[in-house]
Structure 1
Amino acid sequence: MMRRRTTLLASCTAIALAFGSTACGGDDDVSAGGGDKALSGQTVTVAGVWSGTEQKNFQKVLDAFTEKTGAKTRFVPTGDNVSTVVGSKIEGGDAPDVVMVPQVGVLQQFAKNGWLKPLSAKAQTAVDENFAPVWKNYGSVDGKLYGLYFKAAHKSTVWYSPDALAQAGVETPKTYDEMLKAGRTVSDSGLSAFAVAGQDGWTLTDWFENVYLSQAGAEKYDALAAHKLKWTDQSVVDALTTLGKLFKDKQLIAGGQKGALNTDFPGSVEKVFGPEPEAGMVYEGDFVAGVAKDQFGKKIGEDANFFPFPPVGSGDAPVVSGGDAAVVLKDGKNSEAGMALLEYLTTPEASAVWAGIGGYISPNKNLDLASYGDDVTRATAKSLVDAGNADAVRFDMSDQAPAAFGGTKGTGEWKILQDFLRDPSNPKATAAELEKAAAKAYGS
């Protein structure tokens, strides 16, 4: 408790910038829910993809903002098609004030459409103080800062049941080939190796990105992400071939390809950590921990743990990140109050609310690691923040793409990789389909 209080005091300057001198008491204490309630009577509408546990946890952050400022909040789930839903609301005269944008490409699209307000001077100052430059770069378009990365993700983590691996007599793997070998041993012991959330196309893009970054290297990853390298490049075919070996192995995937295509992300976590386990491992980001803990009562570090996504062949271990950026829409009815929410979200205080609950990593470098509830999350958060400070991570490739290619359900990369999961027999043809869809979305 003392360590957290020290952090909040140290970050008092940033909080004061965002909310004025009322954020910091004259006795050097930060009172719970302090603030002058200057926004009483206003309602901030926030739209985002979060549902279930994530929405519930974010609501606690919004409730803390309400207690501080007096502004009420209303969260509107968008589903995965954020761009389409927000565009429709703007056209219909019902624009939200704030949108939590899950893709860099969508943020760029919103900015180029003229929908966004640049961050206020107060918010920009706090971003400079509390965030590594990489996060500011991803939130900027043409030199203007529009997005505040409130929630980050470490997407190079493979989560497993320690009991399942122990019963199979396998250690956590150090290479991709070792991981598949360990998976087959787990399967021989009675469980499938992996629960794959093929119903959610975004999880398949994450699988591809980790394999590609490790196998092809950072230079080609950056080129492919910017579409300066075509998807028909042999490096893409090679990565798809590597991934296809996993997808077509019925011993490795719970329910086989059909079962994977009928499993969404929460369902994939349930298949490993639920009351009737079907698999020993599930690949996805650090947010797996939140679902395992909140929905299935697992103790992170004991009942659920992770190992880093292992290197493929002679490549390096990948470090892929993602994140959700808060932006303010010009057409929101309470956009000024929306900007006040962003100013609050820049503070370590706001991040600490969700950090203490779990299923969350903040890119805020001034958030005390003691705010996290377990050692596993603490270590994951430190790894990502350190990598961000060193500019040593690569942002989720599909999130950098135009939404039509990398961020829309039922089309583009999401659908093509779902088709590949269904039939991984022709990686070259899949690469050609990916290039066709990318060229259309990028306009090249």
Structure 2
Amino acid sequence: MRSTSNTIRTRRTLRAAATLLAGALTLSLSACGSDDDKSSDGGATAEESGASVTLPKLDGKSLEVAAVWTGAEQANFKKVLAEFEKRTGAKVTFVPAQDPIINFLGSKVAGGQPPDVAMLPQPGAIKQAVDKGWAKPLGAAALKELQKNYSQGWQDIGKIGGKQYGVYYKAANKSLIWYNAKVFENAGASEPKTWAELLTTAQTVYDSGVTPFSVGGAEGWTLTDWFENVYLSQAGPEKYDQLAKHEIKWTDPSVKAALTTLAQVWGKKDYVAGGAVGALQTDFPASVTQTFSGGDQPKAGMVYEGDFAQVNIVQAGAKVGTDAKVFPFPAVGDSSPVVSGGDAAVILKDSEAAQALATFLASPEAATIQAKLGGYLSPNKNVPESAYPNPVQQKMAKALIAAGDDFRFDMSDQAPQAFGGTPGKGEWKALQDFLKNPTNVAGTQATLESGAAAAYGN
């Protein structure tokens, strides 16, 4: 357990980060940047990002990078890889992976063709890759770049058994609720700061004739994110850490309290678009787009998810800052939660080219390229705020860095993949069942504890 002084410091840091984020989100959001914000191809050149990282010449070398990213996220990352190719002479191929990526990699390893580098979205997956002997430690150059640009907390998440395996190239702020501005205007609804105010706002939206919430229940990870924000704010960071490590059981009263709180939304008749059945058939992208399409009569007025929802908002034909606005996840307890997620670059084939790519991805130059394209946050503390294409993303980035070593990483991503990251199993399945029957708090706790005990081996 942490000392009392550390717990108080952690609460203060979270509160400060939440306050900074709240201030950021009261700004009038702009669209995702103008042509003046970007280089001609939408990215930053090495010169613009103040290139300083030293990379070897790799003419004739080739390597593969696997990730589950699709759409704009994949396209933007490919621009980063293109800069690496330009600077080294190497040829990089992006390999689309499927969730859970650890299973995808297992099939590649079994076939003798693993990718050189994989972008792993869970610390639990990094540990599995290490335990299976797939992952290779970072070399001296990558370590030097990582230590120069990342806080100790972000370094430690990618460390297993005292060795550094992961470079957290991408981060996410998972403590946001996006809303249809026209729906709020028509309803006379205001941005809530507390959970009680959120319920009042939801009722106001409902009374105006629009379903309050869109929930992407077809993908269990969105439901774990709901739980984590409620739990962190209500139970506090110390309990959050204990549950993340399974040092306390899922039958703990703090879990009961969080599930009971969640049921105030999930179990409220007509508060979720399509009801539980409809939500369980709605994937994450659709949960966002159905909130911002349909004029002033969309399927829902609000949708919870991270900063990355901006990509889907734009795909819905809505303008961020005008049609779509956002507020921090409301405080259930003493302060609003700040939950982060991320994707780490992990080397599977230890070669000069793979080590060079890890080094590049640990540099501010690589992150700056993708930052300028929008829909992306980096935990790299040396990426300039000006690299982000609008004031809100700049403030989100600032809040992420300001949290320092006391941020809280997505809890399910810290768990073994079998419990926290597999479709149709573990925590994802248990919370999908809870969405279907939010009165079954005790049964859900028992199911969660059974799955966690098996996955953690205790």
Please list, as runs of the form range in 1=range in 2, the aligned pairs for 1:258-337 lying within 5 A after superposition: 258-275=277-294, 277-293=298-314, 295-312=315-332, 314-330=333-349, 335-337=351-353
SS state at 2:342 partner = strand
Question: In the alignment, is the contact (CA less than 8 A) between 2:172 and 2:376 conserved in 1?
Answer: yes
| Corresponding residue of 1:435 | 449
- Label 1:297 to 1:57 Cα distance change in 2 as closer, same or farther (>3 A): farther
| Corresponding residue of 1:34 | none
Please list, as runs of the form range in 1=range in 2, the aligned pairs for 1:108-127 lying within 5 A after superposition: 108-127=127-146
1:175 aligns with 2:194: yes
Matched letter for residue 256 of structure 2: V
Segments of 5+ residues of structure 1 without an aligned counterpart are 21-37
CA distance in 2, matches of 1:70, 1:405: 41
CA distance in 1, matches of 2:253, 2:306: 27
Matched letter for residue 357 of structure 1: L
1:420 aligns with 2:434: yes
SS state at 2:118 partner = strand
SS state at 1:350 partner = helix
Write out the 4+ residue segments of structure 1 that deviate beyond 4 Å after TM superposition: 1-13
1:233 is aligned, of 252, 265, 269, to 252
- Percent of aligned positions with the same letter in both sequences? 52
Larger mean Cα displacement after TM superposition, 179-188 or 203-212: 179-188
- Label 1:306 to 1:2 Cα distance change in 2 as closer, same or farther (>3 A): closer
Segments of 5+ residues of structure 2 without an aligned counterpart are 1-35
Please list, as runs of the form range in 1=range in 2, the aligned pairs for 1:182-221 lying within 5 A after superposition: 182-221=201-240
Matched letter for residue 348 of structure 1: P
Matched letter for residue 309 of structure 1: F
Question: In the alignment, is the contact (CA less than 8 A) between 2:118 and 2:346 conserved in 1?
Answer: yes
- Label 1:10 to 1:52 Cα distance change in 2 as closer, same or farther (>3 A): closer
TM-score, structure 2 as length reference: 0.87
Matched letter for residue 73 of structure 2: E
CA distance in 1, matches of 2:277, 2:102: 29
1:55 aligns with 2:74: yes
Matched letter for residue 441 of structure 2: P
TM-score, structure 1 as length reference: 0.90
SS state at 1:45 partner = strand
Which structure has more RCO (C-alpha within 8 Å, separation ≥ 6)?
A: 2
Say what the alpha-carbon RMSD is for the aligned residues: 2.0
CA distance in 2, matches of 1:129, 1:3: 26
SS state at 2:310 partner = helix
SS state at 1:273 partner = coil
Please list, as runs of the form range in 1=range in 2, the aligned pairs for 1:134-173 lying within 5 A after superposition: 134-173=153-192
- Label 1:353 to 1:399 Cα distance change in 2 as closer, same or farther (>3 A): same
| Corresponding residue of 2:262 | 243
1:384 aligns with 2:403: no
SS state at 1:380 partner = helix
| Corresponding residue of 2:20 | none
Residues 126-156 of structure 1: CA deviation (Å, up to 9, x unaligned): 1111111111000101111100000000111
Aligned length, in residue pairs: 417
CA distance in 1, matches of 2:37, 2:442: 57
SS state at 2:104 partner = helix
